[in-house]
Amino acid sequence: MPRRGQRKPRPIVELDPEGMTAWMKRYLAWLRTKNYSERTVENRNSYLGFFITWCESRSLLRPQEVTKPILERYQRHLYHHRKSDGKPLSFRAQHSRLVPVRGYFKWLTRQNVLLSNPASELELPRLEHRLPKHVLTADEAERVLGQPDLRE
């Protein structure tokens, strides 16, 4: 389920039993059997749905048609994509959309659907290092340091 402000991916019509959508459903079922949380499965379903919709608009219908340059093109698409408010996707959002794609192709390779993993060498966006949100003020730090009994 998309979070507030996110669009749902366009419903994908499943016609080909060897198409990307059919394999995605098998992948999601595998995640459930491996006891991934339902929220993780929902997120991967949503983000893989965006990827598969992007592929279908370029007539890429089967996993075997996807190559590393195509994945790099999708990555550039995410970099240049604008949200409804006109702002670009954050690097964290781009990373979040690419990780399920990498996992999907890794699984397809393990299932012998693909001979090699086109996403194995895909470089993900570098995430920024965030400072903690809740930091003590100077007065709070002084109170904490003043609590211990220094005589002992």
Structural domains for the chain: 20-127 (1.10.150.130)
Residue range 82-114, pLDDT digits in tens: 999 999 999 999 999 999 999 999 999 999 999
Alpha helices (runs of H) in the chain, residue ranges in sequence order: 20-33, 38-56, 68-80, 91-110, 138-146
SS3 call for 63: helix
As a whole number of angstroms, the distance between CA 10 and CA 29 comes to: 21
What is this structure's pTM? Answer: 0.74
Which of 8-17, 89-98, 141-150 is the least confident region? Answer: 8-17
When pLDDT is cut at 50, 70 and 90, the band that residue 6 belongs to is low
Q: The tokens of 43 are what?
A: 């997120």
